[in-house]
Amino acid sequence: MSVSIAILAAGQGTRMKSSLPKVLHKISGRPMIWHIIKEAKKLSEDITVVLYHEAKMIRSYLEENFQNLRFHIQDHDNFPGTGGALMGIEFESDKVLVLNGDMPLIQASELEQFLQIDADIVMSVIDLENPHGYGRVIIEDTEVECIVEHKDCGEAELALTTVNAGVYLFTKEVLQKFLPKLSNKNAQKEYYLTDIIGLAKKEGYTIKPIFVQEESFQGVNSKVDLAQAEEIMQDRIKKRWMEEGVIFRLPKTSFIEIDVAFEGECEVESGCVLRGKTLIKKSHIKAHSVVEESQIAFCTIGPFARIRPKSILEDTRIGNFVEVKKSHLKGVKAGHLSYLGDSQIDEGTNIGAGTITCNYDGKEKHQTIIGKNVFVGSDSQLVAPLKIEDDVIIAAGTTLTKDIPKGSLAIARTPLKIVKDFYYKFFGKR
Ligand code: UD1
Ligand code: CA
């Protein structure tokens, strides 16, 4: 069955207390609205995103990240509210699924269940211990009678714990017929989408509730909600990768963004942060390491290593307090306390402790290219641009400012001086 989808994202999200529009706040590395659209795309090619507040910013993000989305700017001044949001949209299919931009945890498989129920309206309901703020749902004999918004509830209604989760499947006919009949005579002076339920019921349309999981259908309205949704998403991401064969040591302590991927058996020790479009293949990420937007294959990284964007590491060992940025390392060992930026380092090369690529001259960034089987002694500064050919020894403590030809030794030190008995002259006999 084909279905059109509307994603409501025009609201201001004041409870978020943020200058960033609510739906652009991130969960596991991607804005909330990205998550719901990603799932919606699995069900439909006709997706309309309803915008108003910060419409330009949200739209440009979505256009960069998705294809074939339609946008509808709500006439919010004249028709505020979730009902107003759907006015004036042309849908392609006879069924319309309505989702919210602030529900990042819903999964396509859960939405498919809506499509399997035969009714004019299918609406999501949850039983909540604390229903505060939600619209209460009045159900009689398995059919929904109406929804009463929290701010319009009387005492008896406030006691109801069955609430509207905010996701609906309507027939296009129901929307076309009842959207124009909504009024704003309520506590918030808004056009409530939820009023369609009562109106349709009166005219004999069938309205079926579907009980959904709170874990997936909770909305994010505040930063407390955001943190809770983040935890759920994180659990899901790590569970998925564990099922694919990744070992996580104390998974709750690591943060793995949604665009990270693993291949083959990998291990991630505790306290790691893996971000952006990162690929980890048959590698071991030791405790408290950070990897961002990089490709790591057949490597050991950390503990306490930092791999910054656009790094490609193959067959490489990176140890503690090593920072790598925008570098391609193949068959390299860099065990301790180094910064390797804008570099290209080849097989068999050993980078001594305290090696620094001086890639920035105060104006521009420059490349450091190191060949095969090079031994870089500890505490060396490699002033870029610089090329070190194969089979070179760099003596410890050298500051390199020139290219080094194949097979050479490079050493730049002030000669060592030993002054006998100087200690006693200086301090006297002790
Ligand atoms: C809504 C429901 C309530 C339900 C709750 C579940 C209505 C009237 N109430 O309330 O019954 O229990 O969701 O989370 O629908 N939006 C627009 N345009 C607007 C107003 C809102 O696009 O003019 C969007 C928001 O951006 C948001 C969604 O609609 O994504 C829901 O709006 P929100 O203000 O959060 O509704 P609730 O008060 O939570
Ligand atoms: Ca909400």
Q: 336 an active-site residue?
A: yes
Q: Which pLDDT band holds residue 143 (cuts at 50, 70, 90)?
A: confident
What's the rounded Cα separation, in Å, for the pair 301 and 291? Answer: 9
Q: Which pLDDT band holds residue 361 (cuts at 50, 70, 90)?
A: very high
Distance 124 CA to ligand 1 centre (A): 13
| Ligand 1 near 62 CB (within 6 A) | no
Q: What's the distance, CA 104 to chain centroid? A: 11
| Ligand 1 near 83 CB (within 6 A) | no
pLDDT at residue number 12? 87
Single pTM value for the model = 0.94
Burial of 14 (0-12, 13-18, 19+ CB in 10 A): exposed
What's the rounded Cα separation, in Å, for the pair 240 and 296? Answer: 20
The average pLDDT across 100-119 equals 97
Distance 221 CA to ligand 2 centre (A): 6
What's the rounded Cα separation, in Å, for the pair 264 and 140? Answer: 53
Distance 9 CA to ligand 2 centre (A): 10
| Torsion angles phi and psi, residue 285, rounded to 5 | -105, 110
Cβ contacts of 352-361, under 8 Å, gap ≥ 24: 352/376, 352/377, 352/378, 352/379, 352/380, 352/396, 353/378, 353/379, 354/378, 354/379, 354/380, 355/379, 355/380, 355/381, 355/382, 356/380, 356/381, 356/382, 357/382, 357/384, 358/382, 358/383, 358/384, 359/384
CB neighbour list of residue 397: distance below 8 Å, 6 or more residues apart? 377, 378, 379, 380, 412, 413
The answer, yes or no, to whether residue 1 has pLDDT greater than 90, is no
Q: What is the pLDDT of residues 182-219, one digit of tens each?
A: 999 999 999 999 999 999 999 999 999 999 999 999 99
Which tokens is 390 given? 């194969």
Q: Return the amino acid letter for 242.
A: M
Domains identified in the chain and CATH numbers? 4-217 (3.90.550.10), 223-410 (2.160.10.10)
Pick the residue whose CA is nearest to atom 19 on ligand 1: 81
Which numbered atom of ligand 1 lies nearest the CA of 50?
A: 22
The answer, yes or no, to whether residue 3 has pLDDT greater than 80, is yes
Annotated catalytic residue: which of 53, 150, 336, 366? 336
What's the rounded Cα separation, in Å, for the pair 94 and 37? Answer: 20
What's the rounded Cα separation, in Å, for the pair 98 and 212? Answer: 15
| Ligand 1 near 192 CB (within 6 A) | yes
Pick the residue whose CA is nearest to atom 16 on ligand 1: 11
Q: What is the pLDDT of residues 247-296, one digit of tens each?
A: 999 999 999 999 999 999 999 999 999 999 999 999 999 999 999 999 99
DSSP state of 65: H
Q: Ligand 1 test: best mutation among 100, 160, 164, 220, most atoms within 8 Å of CB?
A: 100
What's the rounded Cα separation, in Å, for the pair 229 and 246? Answer: 23
Cα–Cα nearest to 182, from 168, 171, 193, 174: 193
Cα–Cα nearest to 46, from 92, 90, 12, 79: 92
Distance 13 CA to ligand 2 centre (A): 8
Cα–Cα nearest to 136, from 62, 214, 197: 197
Across the chain, mean pLDDT equals 96
Which numbered atom of ligand 1 lies nearest the CA of 13?
A: 26
Ligand located closest to 150 CA: 1
Q: Residues lining ligand 2 (ion), CB within 5 A?
A: 219
Q: Return the amino acid letter for 94.
A: D
Q: pLDDT: is 35 or 133 the higher one?
A: 35
Pick the residue whose CA is nearest to atom 11 on ligand 1: 135
Cα–Cα nearest to 145, from 186, 188, 98, 194: 194
Q: What is the pLDDT of residues 14-49, one digit of tens each?
A: 999 999 999 999 999 999 999 999 999 999 999 999
Ligand located closest to 128 CA: 1
Distance 63 CA to ligand 1 centre (A): 24
For residues 276 and 293, is the Cβ–Cβ distance under 8 A? yes
| Ligand 1 near 48 CB (within 6 A) | no
Pick the residue whose CA is nearest to atom 8 on ligand 1: 192
What's the rounded Cα separation, in Å, for the pair 102 and 123? Answer: 17
Which numbered atom of ligand 1 lies nearest the CA of 221?
A: 35
Cα–Cα nearest to 106, from 4, 17, 220: 220
Q: Which pLDDT band holds residue 229 (cuts at 50, 70, 90)?
A: very high
pLDDT at residue number 366? 98
Which numbered atom of ligand 1 lies nearest the CA of 164?
A: 12
What's the rounded Cα separation, in Å, for the pair 33 and 101? Answer: 5
Distance 208 CA to ligand 1 centre (A): 20
pLDDT at residue number 429? 82
Which tokens is 132 given? 């505060």
